[in-house]
Amino acid sequence: MPHHETRPTIRIPGTTSHTIAPRAGRRHEGALRYLRAGTGAPLVLLHTVRTQAEHFRSLIPSVSDRYTVYALDLPGMGYSEIVPGASYDEPAMRAGVERLLTELDLRDVTLVGESMGAVLALTTAADLPERVRRVVAVNTYDFRGGIARSGLLARLVVGGVLAPGVGPVIARVEPKSALTKILQGGLGDKSALREDYVDELLRVGGRPGYPTVARAVYQSLPSLIAARSRYPEVEAPVHLVYGEKDWSRPADRRADRELLPAAEFTQVRGAGHFIALERPDVLAGLLASAA
Protein backbone atom coordinates (compact mmCIF):
# COMPACT_ATOMS: atom_id res chain seq x y z
CA MET A 1 0.00 0.00 0.00
CA PRO A 2 1.17 3.58 -0.57
CA HIS A 3 2.01 5.27 2.72
CA HIS A 4 -1.01 7.32 3.75
CA GLU A 5 -1.94 8.35 7.26
CA THR A 6 -5.54 7.42 6.51
CA ARG A 7 -6.73 3.82 6.47
CA PRO A 8 -10.17 2.43 5.67
CA THR A 9 -12.43 1.81 8.63
CA ILE A 10 -15.10 -0.24 6.84
CA ARG A 11 -14.34 -3.94 6.77
CA ILE A 12 -16.02 -6.19 4.21
CA PRO A 13 -16.01 -9.85 5.29
CA GLY A 14 -13.85 -12.09 3.12
CA THR A 15 -12.00 -9.27 1.33
CA THR A 16 -8.30 -8.55 1.23
CA SER A 17 -6.65 -5.31 0.13
CA HIS A 18 -4.00 -5.25 -2.59
CA THR A 19 -1.94 -2.74 -4.55
CA ILE A 20 -0.79 -2.50 -8.16
CA ALA A 21 2.48 -0.59 -8.39
CA PRO A 22 2.93 2.18 -10.96
CA ARG A 23 4.84 1.19 -14.07
CA ALA A 24 8.40 2.40 -14.50
CA GLY A 25 8.74 5.65 -16.38
CA ARG A 26 5.07 6.66 -16.01
CA ARG A 27 5.51 9.96 -14.16
CA HIS A 28 1.83 10.61 -13.48
CA GLU A 29 0.88 7.03 -12.75
CA GLY A 30 0.21 6.10 -9.15
CA ALA A 31 -0.30 2.88 -7.21
CA LEU A 32 -3.83 1.47 -7.44
CA ARG A 33 -5.59 -0.15 -4.51
CA TYR A 34 -8.22 -2.83 -4.96
CA LEU A 35 -10.18 -5.26 -2.82
CA ARG A 36 -10.33 -8.94 -3.68
CA ALA A 37 -12.78 -11.59 -2.51
CA GLY A 38 -14.25 -14.92 -3.53
CA THR A 39 -13.53 -17.55 -6.16
CA GLY A 40 -14.65 -18.10 -9.72
CA ALA A 41 -14.59 -16.08 -12.92
CA PRO A 42 -13.33 -12.51 -12.49
CA LEU A 43 -15.83 -9.76 -11.65
CA VAL A 44 -14.49 -6.20 -11.66
CA LEU A 45 -16.46 -3.50 -9.82
CA LEU A 46 -16.02 0.18 -10.71
CA HIS A 47 -17.40 2.82 -8.36
CA THR A 48 -19.12 6.17 -8.80
CA VAL A 49 -18.08 9.81 -8.64
CA ARG A 50 -16.71 10.75 -5.17
CA THR A 51 -16.76 7.21 -3.78
CA GLN A 52 -14.47 4.17 -3.57
CA ALA A 53 -14.36 0.36 -3.55
CA GLU A 54 -16.36 0.19 -0.31
CA HIS A 55 -19.31 1.49 -2.33
CA PHE A 56 -19.89 -2.21 -3.09
CA ARG A 57 -19.75 -3.38 0.52
CA SER A 58 -23.23 -4.95 0.33
CA LEU A 59 -22.79 -6.47 -3.13
CA ILE A 60 -19.41 -8.18 -2.68
CA PRO A 61 -20.45 -10.78 -0.04
CA SER A 62 -23.49 -11.78 -2.09
CA VAL A 63 -21.54 -12.58 -5.28
CA SER A 64 -18.19 -13.84 -3.96
CA ASP A 65 -19.42 -17.43 -3.94
CA ARG A 66 -19.63 -17.30 -7.75
CA TYR A 67 -16.93 -14.81 -8.74
CA THR A 68 -13.47 -13.67 -7.84
CA VAL A 69 -14.33 -10.05 -7.12
CA TYR A 70 -11.95 -7.16 -7.76
CA ALA A 71 -13.29 -3.81 -6.49
CA LEU A 72 -10.98 -1.04 -7.70
CA ASP A 73 -10.28 2.37 -6.21
CA LEU A 74 -10.07 4.46 -9.38
CA PRO A 75 -6.90 6.57 -9.79
CA GLY A 76 -6.51 9.11 -7.00
CA MET A 77 -9.73 8.01 -5.32
CA GLY A 78 -10.32 5.90 -2.23
CA TYR A 79 -6.86 4.69 -1.22
CA SER A 80 -5.25 4.70 -4.64
CA GLU A 81 -2.23 6.96 -4.80
CA ILE A 82 -2.66 10.68 -5.43
CA VAL A 83 -0.03 11.87 -7.89
CA PRO A 84 0.47 15.64 -8.33
CA GLY A 85 -0.21 16.69 -11.89
CA ALA A 86 -2.10 13.54 -12.85
CA SER A 87 -5.13 13.72 -15.10
CA TYR A 88 -8.55 12.47 -14.04
CA ASP A 89 -10.37 12.63 -17.34
CA GLU A 90 -12.04 9.58 -18.83
CA PRO A 91 -8.99 8.25 -20.73
CA ALA A 92 -6.79 8.52 -17.62
CA MET A 93 -9.31 6.75 -15.41
CA ARG A 94 -9.89 4.10 -18.07
CA ALA A 95 -6.12 3.53 -18.16
CA GLY A 96 -6.32 2.67 -14.46
CA VAL A 97 -9.03 0.09 -15.09
CA GLU A 98 -7.06 -1.40 -17.95
CA ARG A 99 -3.99 -1.66 -15.71
CA LEU A 100 -6.01 -3.82 -13.33
CA LEU A 101 -7.08 -6.17 -16.12
CA THR A 102 -3.70 -6.40 -17.82
CA GLU A 103 -1.38 -6.41 -14.78
CA LEU A 104 -3.42 -9.20 -13.18
CA ASP A 105 -3.95 -10.84 -16.59
CA LEU A 106 -7.71 -11.09 -16.05
CA ARG A 107 -9.72 -12.75 -18.81
CA ASP A 108 -13.37 -13.67 -19.25
CA VAL A 109 -14.12 -10.61 -17.11
CA THR A 110 -17.55 -9.36 -16.12
CA LEU A 111 -17.28 -5.59 -15.72
CA VAL A 112 -19.84 -3.92 -13.46
CA GLY A 113 -19.68 -0.16 -13.19
CA GLU A 114 -22.00 2.37 -11.61
CA SER A 115 -22.24 6.01 -12.71
CA MET A 116 -18.75 7.08 -13.84
CA GLY A 117 -17.74 3.44 -13.40
CA ALA A 118 -20.41 2.41 -15.92
CA VAL A 119 -18.89 4.63 -18.59
CA LEU A 120 -15.44 3.22 -17.82
CA ALA A 121 -16.76 -0.34 -17.98
CA LEU A 122 -18.08 0.29 -21.48
CA THR A 123 -14.98 2.06 -22.80
CA THR A 124 -12.67 -0.54 -21.25
CA ALA A 125 -14.70 -3.25 -22.97
CA ALA A 126 -14.27 -1.37 -26.24
CA ASP A 127 -10.49 -1.28 -25.72
CA LEU A 128 -10.00 -4.84 -24.44
CA PRO A 129 -12.57 -7.05 -26.16
CA GLU A 130 -10.36 -10.11 -25.73
CA ARG A 131 -10.57 -9.80 -21.94
CA VAL A 132 -14.18 -8.72 -21.33
CA ARG A 133 -17.01 -11.25 -21.31
CA ARG A 134 -19.91 -9.02 -20.25
CA VAL A 135 -20.69 -5.48 -19.10
CA VAL A 136 -23.31 -4.38 -16.60
CA ALA A 137 -23.55 -0.59 -16.85
CA VAL A 138 -25.54 0.93 -13.99
CA ASN A 139 -26.81 4.50 -14.35
CA THR A 140 -24.22 5.67 -16.87
CA TYR A 141 -22.83 9.10 -15.91
CA ASP A 142 -22.66 10.56 -19.40
CA PHE A 143 -25.17 13.42 -19.48
CA ARG A 144 -25.01 17.17 -18.98
CA GLY A 145 -25.29 18.34 -15.38
CA GLY A 146 -24.26 15.06 -13.77
CA ILE A 147 -24.35 15.11 -9.98
CA ALA A 148 -25.63 18.69 -10.05
CA ARG A 149 -29.03 17.13 -10.85
CA SER A 150 -29.05 15.69 -7.33
CA GLY A 151 -30.66 18.88 -6.06
CA LEU A 152 -30.14 22.57 -5.31
CA LEU A 153 -27.38 21.98 -2.77
CA ALA A 154 -25.45 19.80 -5.22
CA ARG A 155 -25.78 22.45 -7.92
CA LEU A 156 -24.43 25.10 -5.55
CA VAL A 157 -21.57 22.96 -4.22
CA VAL A 158 -20.46 21.52 -7.55
CA GLY A 159 -20.83 24.91 -9.21
CA GLY A 160 -18.63 26.40 -6.49
CA VAL A 161 -16.02 23.65 -6.78
CA LEU A 162 -15.79 24.19 -10.52
CA ALA A 163 -15.64 27.99 -10.30
CA PRO A 164 -12.36 29.63 -11.34
CA GLY A 165 -10.35 31.06 -8.46
CA VAL A 166 -12.46 30.00 -5.49
CA GLY A 167 -13.03 26.42 -6.67
CA PRO A 168 -9.99 24.85 -4.98
CA VAL A 169 -10.91 26.56 -1.71
CA ILE A 170 -14.50 25.30 -1.82
CA ALA A 171 -13.30 21.78 -2.70
CA ARG A 172 -11.41 21.67 0.62
CA VAL A 173 -14.58 22.41 2.61
CA GLU A 174 -16.90 19.41 2.79
CA PRO A 175 -19.29 19.43 5.77
CA LYS A 176 -20.74 16.06 6.66
CA SER A 177 -24.29 17.42 6.43
CA ALA A 178 -23.70 18.68 2.89
CA LEU A 179 -22.11 15.46 1.63
CA THR A 180 -24.92 13.45 3.22
CA LYS A 181 -27.61 15.52 1.55
CA ILE A 182 -25.93 15.41 -1.86
CA LEU A 183 -25.54 11.63 -1.73
CA GLN A 184 -29.10 11.18 -0.48
CA GLY A 185 -30.18 13.05 -3.60
CA GLY A 186 -29.03 9.97 -5.51
CA LEU A 187 -31.20 7.57 -3.53
CA GLY A 188 -34.84 6.64 -3.69
CA ASP A 189 -34.48 5.15 -0.20
CA LYS A 190 -32.42 7.70 1.74
CA SER A 191 -31.93 5.28 4.64
CA ALA A 192 -29.63 3.23 2.36
CA LEU A 193 -26.87 5.79 2.98
CA ARG A 194 -25.17 4.51 6.13
CA GLU A 195 -23.46 6.99 8.42
CA ASP A 196 -20.24 4.98 8.66
CA TYR A 197 -19.94 5.12 4.88
CA VAL A 198 -20.27 8.92 4.86
CA ASP A 199 -17.63 9.04 7.61
CA GLU A 200 -15.34 6.88 5.48
CA LEU A 201 -15.79 9.15 2.45
CA LEU A 202 -15.01 12.19 4.58
CA ARG A 203 -11.90 10.46 5.94
CA VAL A 204 -10.71 9.86 2.38
CA GLY A 205 -11.63 13.44 1.51
CA GLY A 206 -9.15 14.57 4.15
CA ARG A 207 -6.18 12.89 2.43
CA PRO A 208 -3.52 15.36 1.29
CA GLY A 209 -4.26 16.33 -2.31
CA TYR A 210 -7.74 14.81 -2.41
CA PRO A 211 -9.61 18.11 -2.93
CA THR A 212 -7.62 18.58 -6.15
CA VAL A 213 -8.66 15.09 -7.27
CA ALA A 214 -12.31 15.71 -6.40
CA ARG A 215 -12.33 18.97 -8.37
CA ALA A 216 -10.66 17.28 -11.35
CA VAL A 217 -13.20 14.45 -11.29
CA TYR A 218 -16.10 16.92 -11.38
CA GLN A 219 -14.31 18.67 -14.26
CA SER A 220 -14.05 15.35 -16.12
CA LEU A 221 -17.79 15.16 -16.94
CA PRO A 222 -17.33 16.46 -20.52
CA SER A 223 -14.85 13.65 -21.22
CA LEU A 224 -17.33 11.10 -19.84
CA ILE A 225 -20.02 12.51 -22.13
CA ALA A 226 -17.62 12.38 -25.08
CA ALA A 227 -16.86 8.73 -24.25
CA ARG A 228 -20.37 7.79 -25.40
CA SER A 229 -18.95 7.76 -28.92
CA ARG A 230 -17.08 4.56 -27.94
CA TYR A 231 -20.20 2.59 -26.93
CA PRO A 232 -20.93 1.16 -30.41
CA GLU A 233 -17.45 -0.41 -30.37
CA VAL A 234 -18.34 -2.70 -27.46
CA GLU A 235 -18.48 -6.32 -28.64
CA ALA A 236 -19.39 -7.96 -25.33
CA PRO A 237 -23.03 -8.35 -24.25
CA VAL A 238 -24.21 -5.29 -22.31
CA HIS A 239 -26.92 -4.94 -19.69
CA LEU A 240 -28.01 -1.35 -19.03
CA VAL A 241 -29.49 -0.83 -15.56
CA TYR A 242 -31.20 2.38 -14.50
CA GLY A 243 -32.87 3.47 -11.31
CA GLU A 244 -36.35 4.79 -11.94
CA LYS A 245 -35.31 7.97 -10.07
CA ASP A 246 -31.80 8.22 -11.50
CA TRP A 247 -30.49 11.68 -12.39
CA SER A 248 -30.52 10.71 -16.06
CA ARG A 249 -33.65 11.67 -17.97
CA PRO A 250 -35.65 9.36 -20.24
CA ALA A 251 -34.06 11.01 -23.26
CA ASP A 252 -30.58 10.28 -21.87
CA ARG A 253 -31.47 6.62 -21.40
CA ARG A 254 -32.99 6.33 -24.87
CA ALA A 255 -29.87 7.84 -26.39
CA ASP A 256 -27.66 5.19 -24.81
CA ARG A 257 -30.03 2.40 -25.82
CA GLU A 258 -29.79 3.64 -29.41
CA LEU A 259 -25.99 3.44 -29.21
CA LEU A 260 -26.24 -0.08 -27.73
CA PRO A 261 -29.27 -1.53 -29.53
CA ALA A 262 -28.50 -5.12 -28.56
CA ALA A 263 -28.20 -4.34 -24.86
CA GLU A 264 -30.56 -5.77 -22.28
CA PHE A 265 -32.36 -3.14 -20.23
CA THR A 266 -33.59 -3.10 -16.65
CA GLN A 267 -35.22 -0.22 -14.80
CA VAL A 268 -35.27 -0.59 -11.01
CA ARG A 269 -38.49 0.68 -9.55
CA GLY A 270 -38.08 3.38 -6.90
CA ALA A 271 -34.28 3.34 -7.02
CA GLY A 272 -32.05 6.33 -7.63
CA HIS A 273 -28.48 6.76 -8.85
CA PHE A 274 -26.70 4.61 -6.25
CA ILE A 275 -28.25 1.21 -6.87
CA ALA A 276 -25.28 -0.59 -5.31
CA LEU A 277 -26.21 1.08 -2.02
CA GLU A 278 -29.98 0.69 -2.03
CA ARG A 279 -30.66 -2.34 -4.24
CA PRO A 280 -27.55 -4.56 -4.29
CA ASP A 281 -29.93 -7.52 -4.47
CA VAL A 282 -30.94 -6.50 -8.00
CA LEU A 283 -27.31 -6.46 -9.17
CA ALA A 284 -26.58 -9.74 -7.37
CA GLY A 285 -29.53 -11.33 -9.13
CA LEU A 286 -28.37 -10.17 -12.55
CA LEU A 287 -24.89 -11.51 -11.85
CA ALA A 288 -26.16 -14.82 -10.49
CA SER A 289 -28.16 -15.44 -13.66
CA ALA A 290 -25.06 -15.00 -15.80
CA ALA A 291 -22.41 -16.65 -13.62
Residue 4 has pLDDT above 50, yes or no: no
pLDDT at 168: 67
**Which helix (H) or strand (E) segment is 176 a member of?**
helix 176-184
- Average of per-residue pLDDT values in the chain: 92
Its pTM surpasses 0.85: yes
- Interval 107-134: pLDDT, tens: 999 999 999 999 999 999 999 999 999 9
- Interval 122-165: pLDDT, tens: 999 999 999 999 999 999 999 998 888 888 777 777 777 666 76
pLDDT at 2: 42
Task: Look at residues 212, 213, 195 and name the one whose alpha carbon lies nearest to residue 9.
Answer: 195
- Interval 7-47: pLDDT, tens: 889 999 999 999 999 988 888 899 999 999 999 999 999 99
Burial 95-130 (b: 16+ CB within 10 A, else e): bbbbbbbeebebeebbbbbbbbbbbbbbbbbbbbee
Q: How far is CA 256 from CA 132, 143, 234, 248, 269, in A?
A: 20, 10, 12, 11, 19
At 270, the pLDDT band (50, 70, 90 cuts) reads very high
Residue 173 has pLDDT above 70, yes or no: no
